[in-house]
Structure 1
Amino acid sequence: MTDIIFRTGEATVLAVEGQATDAMPEVLIGSVDGPVGHAFASMLGQTVGHTRMFVVRDLNQLVRPAAIMTSKVTIPSAEYVDLLGGVVQGATGDAIVDCVIEGVIPKDVVDKICIIITIWLDLRCAEDPNLDKADLYRTNYEATKLAIRRAMTGEPTIDELIANRKTVKHYALDGVVDY
C-alpha cells in the first residue's frame, strides 16, 4: 500500500509563435487499489469521440506507473488520432518515465500507483500542413512533467493561492471581472 491516494496536478506550456501546439494536461495520480485505480479500470472502455489509450513510449513500451490518457475535446479525424496516439502519446510517455528517473515519482511505487491524464490537443493541429511536431512534443513533454511534479508536491499550495488571490487572475477574465 502507498500513501499516494489522490493527487492532482495541471500545467500549461505555450506553443512557439504561429503554432497551436499549447499543452494543458491534467493528471490524477493515486493508488491502484484506491479511487484512482478504480477510475482507471473503469476507463478501459471507449466512448464515442474520446478515445482512451494506455500511455506507451513506443510499440511494446507501456510506461510505469501505468497511465491512461484521453482527449479533452471530441476527436474529429484520423489525423487528430494520429497526432494524439503518436507525438503526444510519445511525449507523455517520455515525461512519465523521466519523472521516475528524476525521483519525482518514487521508483518503488511505480507498480502501486496509476495515472489518469487528460490531454489538450488543439483541433487546428490536425489541419495544419505546417505543424511543428517537435514543438508539439516539447509542449506536451514539458507540461506533463510539470503537472506530475505539481501533483506529487501539492502545488500550488493553499497558502500560495491565498497569497496571490488578488494578483493572479484567469486570462479569459481580463477586462471582464474587476478584482
Structure 2
Amino acid sequence: MRSGPVTMRVRRYLPDGNPLRRGTDRVESVAVLAFLIFAVLSLGAAFAVGAAVYRAGLAEEHSGRWVTATVTRDAPAATWVAVEGTAARLRTGVAWTTADGRTVTGQAPVPSAAKAGSPVRIWLDREGRPGDGPRSRIDTVADGVASGTATAALSLTALLACLALVRRRLDHRRYAAWDAGWLAMNRRRKPKDA
C-alpha cells in the first residue's frame, strides 16, 4: 500500500524510534510541533484582537446621543458634497442645551437650507462635541474583521519565517554532516594504484 505525500510528510515528523533518524530530524520535528502550537495560539489571539476591536466599535456606536438643537445661522442650500467617495454634510452654527441646563454653541451638520431658529437633531459624541452621527455597524464589523485578519496574517507570517530559518539552519548542519561523512569515507579508502 502506497502512502500519499501528506501521509509521508506527517510520518516524517512523528517520533518512531527509528535509529537512522538524525538529531537534526528530531529538532525539526520539535520545531514543526512548536509552529503548530503557536499557530493555533496566534489564531486565538487574532480572534481576541478582532473581538476587542469590535467591542470598542460597539461602545463607540453607543457612546453619544441625539439632541435637539436650534440652527443659529442659515445653512447653505447645497450642503452635500463628495468627500473621498462618500457624501458628507456641510456644517453650520447650532445651539443646544446640555443636561445641566447650559446652552452650548458649535458647528454641526444640518439639513440643506435649514433656516436660523429651526430645530434640528444633532449627534453629540461622548465628549459632547457635535458629529456626523453614530458609528455605523458595518464599520464596526469591518474594523473587527480587518484587525483580526491582519493579526492572524502577521503572526502566521512571522511563525513561518521562524520555521524557515530553523529549517535552513538544520539543512546547513545536515549538509556539513554529509560533507564530513564523505570526506571520512574517502580518507578510509586506500587508492589501489598506491
> TM bucket by the smaller chain?
under 0.3
Compare relative contact order (CA 8 Å, sep 6+) and give the higher one, 1 or 2: 1
Of Structure 1 and Structure 2, the greater strand share is in 2
Flag the structure with larger Rg.
Answer: 2
Question: TM-score, normalised to structure 1's length?
Answer: 0.22
Of Structure 1 and Structure 2, the greater helix share is in 2
